[in-house]
Structure 1
Amino acid sequence: MQTSTASVTGRNGNTIVYDVHRPEGEPVGVVVVAHGLGEHGGRYHHVARAIADRGYLVVVPDHAGHGRSSGKRLGVTDFGDFVADLHSVIGVAASDRRPRFLIGHSMGGAIALAYALDHPDMLDGLVLSGPAIVPGADLPPLMVKLAPILGKVAPWLPAAALPASGVSRDPKVVAAYEADPMVWHGKIPAGLGGALIGAMGDFPKRLGSLTMPTLVLHGGGDVLANPEGSRIVERLAGSDDLTVTILPGLYHEIFNEPEQDEVIGTVVDWIVARS
């Protein structure tokens, strides 16, 4: 696998940096990975390697305000900005018509789902990992209701924080996450939190139009993204090729759990079978 870095200009003039992982030989397809809230694409090199080893070109961008991309840290207040930026990356990095697949984790799962609903003609399959589809069970209903309003009135007000202990059962993964200078370790600004919750509210009425092949994997022990969101996809999605699996005991980052090789292998095999 050979890795290079490129960039495109996003919706609001931000520089969106992305890695391109090239397989040996001519790619048989393209896989784009959308990372989660507060992290960056560099945390998916092991996922990219496993996919590239099967002959796919893998593209992993950093969202605006994340990682190496420009923009105020976690400063997006319109969820559509993430979707538009992802469209720009896919338009450049996956411009030919080889099979295209999109993987989204956590908030990246919400971005990927929104993208698939907005641009179904651009993808041949969708994979969601611990997607943030519904608010966490620990959030009071009143806070969920007020979040989009608060996000517009006071977007930089610090809101909830993500406990690193919920990332993985592997203490080495948690320690690396906590020590990573490109990971956001503060509270989520109200603007981004409100934008995400607003997007979540739109999914139930739109999921019937999700007809592409879709794989959803969610850790049963996930305390950062409610597994109920994946169950909602299972109930409401219109796809005839839909697999939703809750993985008992696994935490939020299923690609970084002790069972990661099996989980990643499941994803790669699913993609290969649909190429």
Structure 2
Amino acid sequence: MQTSTASITGRHGNTIVYDVHRPDIEPVGVVVVAHGLGEHAGRYHHVARAITDRGYTAVIPDHAGHGRSTGKRLGVTDFGDFVADLHSVIGVAASECRPRFLIGHSMGGAIALSYALDHPDMLDGLILSGPAIVPGADLPAPLVKIAPILGKLVPWLPSAALSASAVSRDPDVVAAYESDPLVWHGKIPAGLGGALIGAMATFPGRLPTLTMPALVLHGGADVLANPEGSRIVERHAGSSDLTVTILPGLYHEIFNEPERDEVISTVTDWIVAHS
């Protein structure tokens, strides 16, 4: 695997940094990965390795306000900004390579789903990992209800923080997450929380237009992104080639659970089968 780093200018002038992982052979396609809230592309190097081992190029950006990209930390208040920046990265780094697949984890799953609905012609398949389509069980219902309002009135008001212990059952993963300086360890600003919850509310009505092949995997013990969100995709998506699997007992980051090798193989096998 050969790795390089590049950047593009995002929707509001932010520098969006992304990694490109290339296989040691002529690539047979490209897979773009959208990471979750508060994290960064560097946490997906093992996923990139599995992708390149199958002959695909992996492109993984840091969202605005995340990781190495610029912008106020978790400062996005318009969910469309993430989608627009992802479109710019794909336009530069992956526009000429097909087939093209998009993987989205957690909030990145919501970004990826939004992107697939907005730009279906740009993708040949969509993979969602623990997508944030329904608020997690860790968020109080009153907070969820008023989040979009708070996000508009007081976007920098701290709301809730993600629980590191809910990320994975692997204590080494949790320890690495807690010590990672590029991971956001504070509370989520109301502006971003409200924007995400607002995007979630649009999905049931939009999902019937999702007709591309899709694979959805979700940890059954995920408290950060409710597995019911993946069941909503199963009930409402218009795709005739849709696989939704709830993985019993797995926590939020299914790519970082003890069963990670099996989970990642399921994803790469699906990509190869749909190429």
Whether these two folds match at TM > 0.5 is yes
Is 2:152 the counterpart of 1:152?
yes
1:27 alignment partner, SS class: coil
Identity percentage of aligned residues: 86
Counting only pairs closer than 5 Å after superposition, residues 69-218 of structure 1 correspond to structure 2 as 69-218=69-218
Please name the residue that 1:29 is paired with: 29
Deviation, 1:145, is 2.2
Deviations 1:131-163 (A, max 9, x none): 000112343433222111100110000001101
1:55 alignment partner, SS class: coil
Please name the residue that 2:258 is paired with: 258
Please give the root-mean-square deviation of Cα atoms over the aligned residues, in Å.
Answer: 0.7
Is 2:244 the counterpart of 1:244?
yes
Is 2:217 the counterpart of 1:220?
no
Residue ranges of structure 1 left out of the alignment (5+ in a row): none
Could you tell me whether the CA contact under 8 Å between 2:138 and 2:224 is conserved in 1? Answer: no
1:176 and 1:190 map into 2 onto residues whose CA distance is 26
Residue ranges of structure 2 left out of the alignment (5+ in a row): none
2:185 alignment partner, SS class: coil
1:107 and 1:95 map into 2 onto residues whose CA distance is 23
1:105 and 1:236 map into 2 onto residues whose CA distance is 20
Query: Which stretch of the first structure deviates more once superposed, 90-99 or 179-188?
Result: 90-99
1:41 and 1:137 map into 2 onto residues whose CA distance is 26
Query: Which stretch of the first structure deviates more once superposed, 142-151 or 260-269?
Result: 142-151
One-letter amino acid of the structure 1 residue matched with residue 210 of structure 2: L
1:49 and 1:139 map into 2 onto residues whose CA distance is 34
1:12 alignment partner, SS class: coil
1:50 and 1:143 map into 2 onto residues whose CA distance is 39
Deviation, 1:97, is 4.2
1:244 and 1:146 map into 2 onto residues whose CA distance is 30
Deviation, 1:226, is 0.3
2:30 alignment partner, SS class: strand
Deviations 1:3-53 (A, max 9, x none): 000000000000000000000121100000000000000000000000001
One-letter amino acid of the structure 1 residue matched with residue 80 of structure 2: G
1:28 alignment partner, SS class: coil
2:97 and 2:45 map into 1 onto residues whose CA distance is 24
| Displacement over 6 Å in runs of 4+ | none
1:23 and 1:160 map into 2 onto residues whose CA distance is 39
1:9 and 1:139 map into 2 onto residues whose CA distance is 33
Deviations 1:77-136 (A, max 9, x none): 000000000000000001214100000000000000000000000000000000000112
Query: Which stretch of the first structure deviates more once superposed, 175-184 or 90-99?
Result: 90-99
Please name the residue that 1:40 is paired with: 40
One-letter amino acid of the structure 2 residue matched with residue 73 of structure 1: R
Please name the residue that 2:17 is paired with: 17
2:160 alignment partner, SS class: coil
Please name the residue that 2:63 is paired with: 63
Could you tell me whether the CA contact under 8 Å between 2:137 and 2:224 is conserved in 1? Answer: no
Deviation, 1:178, is 0.1
Deviations 1:169-203 (A, max 9, x none): 00000000000000000000000000000000000
1:169 and 1:142 map into 2 onto residues whose CA distance is 29
